[in-house]
Amino acid sequence: MLQNLKGLLQINSTNADAGLIIPEAPLGTGINDAINFMLDLGSRFGFETKNCDGYCGYIEMGSGAEMVGILTHVDTVPVGDGWSFPPFDLTIEGDKAFGRGTIDDKGPTMVALYAMKALADKGTLLNKRVRLIIGGDEEGDEWHCMNRYKATEEPPTYAFSPDSGYPAIYAEKGILSISLEKDLDPSTPVMGFFSGSQINTVPDYAKAIISDKVFESTGKPAHASQPQEGVNAMLILAEELKNMGLNHPFLDLVGMATREGFNIDFEDEISGKLTLNPSIANVNRDKAVLKCDIRYPVTMTGSEIGQQIAKAVEPLGFSIKINHDLAPLHMDKESYLINSLQKVYEEYTGDTTGPKVIGGGTYARAFDNAVAFGGRFPEEPNTCHQTNEFWSIESMRKNFDIMTKALENLVR
């Protein structure tokens, strides 16, 4: 499995930067190559496979009217700087397997396929089909892959996405992507300010150019659903420039880009506090743009959040544009799917803390009767979207055991 994971990691399938875009590879040749790598492996295992026009693909085993889906993806976020290991390869040091995608989500994709192989090798009687659905646009805003799948392919009866963690996840916060924009007056001091490349990542580098002088700052990347785990280079540089006495509306905006400053310090009893990540900055002589990633409570709507922010930034002359609003997911804790998955997890680990809520977004939102289940254990660090991303080999083994047992239960 590790050898095949190495081959998958060696394919550069960076979202929005995956090589040439051609009709058979609308998301980039790298993403299509990664999908085909998995399909070829599934075919060698004796399973049925299909590439859905380069957007996604699936690997299927068994027979029956109903189908259990496993929802994964093989696109990744950009690599960034500062790696100690080759990002597009598998490097093993002790119990750690390093490489972009090891935990998000190429590693879990490979583990899922081997769990299916384990069922086939055991000759487990399947009353339902199992279909590993592999997307290529999870790290983008639009999820073109799942849109393509749902337009022409059969939806799963039940599904889970091993693209998050344990225990079973019964709710995912809403995800709001916004742009705050302002046309700059000719009297505004000229400043170039650039930071971030991915909306769902804490930016680890920022640069400003003022009177031909360059100012830079560095931080620590993290997943936007947990901005407290990173260090936002944009915020550091903006504060430094303000302290130097530079007066610019963009710096004022970044200074108020907090839950309190935007008047969106919301929470609910189900999913907890809203999180805000200023992700991308682009400022030139004529225009200033700040893009933010917001994860909001399941009892709220994206439009409510947007209205609050619009009022807050209006005095600075900025307007708001909602680029993408992914509605929250909330499933009954006592549902068949949650109970089935949670039982396997509890029996394997002894952890009885119960199902949980996350700020991340998984493909579970794309289908009915789908939840996130699998990936990281509660005690494991979250290296998704970070420099030197890694996954513990012991965790891979445990995930394999849990996923195999979960499939056995769901296909009965």
DSSP string, 229-284: GSB-HHHHHHHHHHHTT---HHHHHHHT-STTTTT---EETTTEE-EEEEEEEEE-
Structure tokens given for 71: 């929802």
pLDDT at 156: 98
Cite the active site residues.
75, 138
Mean pLDDT of the chain: 97
Q: Over 90: is that where the pLDDT of 125 sits?
A: no
Could you give the CA distance from residue 245 to residue 227 in angstroms, rounded to a whole number?
Answer: 27
pTM: 0.90
Confidence of residue 124 (pLDDT cuts 50, 70, 90): confident
- List C-alpha distances in Å: 199 to 65, 181, 378, 379, 402: 39, 16, 25, 27, 32
* Per-residue model confidence (pLDDT) at position 126: 87
Tokens of 217: 């700052």
Residue 141 reports pLDDT greater than 90: no
Q: What is the pLDDT of residue 235?
A: 98
pLDDT in tens, 41-91: 999 999 999 999 999 999 999 999 999 999 999 999 999 889 999 999 999
